[in-house]
Every structure is written in structure tokens, then in C-alpha cells.
Homo-oligomer: A and B are copies of this chain.
Amino acid sequence: MESTLSNALILMVIGMISVFIVLLVVVMGGSILINFINKYYPESVISQVSNSKDSLVSPKIMAVLTAAVLQATGGKGHIDEVLKK
């Protein structure tokens, strides 16, 4: 029983230290990474399109829909995004 408790306490110490160290390294590593990319790759060279969880339609359809809405609303309407229901 007592040893269970002491083990639980040790687990808490190790666990919280681990979490803190990991997130510290993530924050610091992320920071280094940002600086590195800012310095050496300031502009994107690879494809710009990222998989968005929400985009339902291809850019092509999007353009068509936008054109349709613009026309239908006399230029007043617009579409920002087409989301999945």
C-alpha cells in the first residue's frame, strides 16, 4: 500500500517533468524551426493547396459557383467557403 503510494508519487514527478520537458522542447524547437524557415525558405516553393477539412468543392467548381452567384446577385453576393454539412 505504502509502496503503491510512493510509486504513484514518483509517477507524478516523472510524468509532469516529462510533459514539461516535451512541451518546452516543442516550444523551443518550434521557435528554432520558425527562424530557420524564415531565414532560408522565406517564400513557399511547394504547392500551396493544403487539404482542408472543410473544403467540399474543387477550385474550379468554386470559381463557377462564384461566377454564378455574382451574376445571380447582380455582383453583390459572394461565396467565401463551401462547407460540408
Q: Could you tell me which A residues sit within 8 Å of B by CB distance?
A: 49, 56-61, 64-65, 67-73, 77, 79, 82-85
Contact = CB atoms under 8 A, between A and B. Distances in A.
Contacts of A82: 58, 60-61
**Copies of this chain assembled into the complex:** 3
A72 to B, nearest CB: 4
Contacts of A58: 56, 82-85
A39 to B, nearest CB: 32
B69 A83 contact: no
A82 B61 CA distance: 7
A74 to B, nearest CB: 9
Contacts of A68: 64-65, 67-69, 71-72
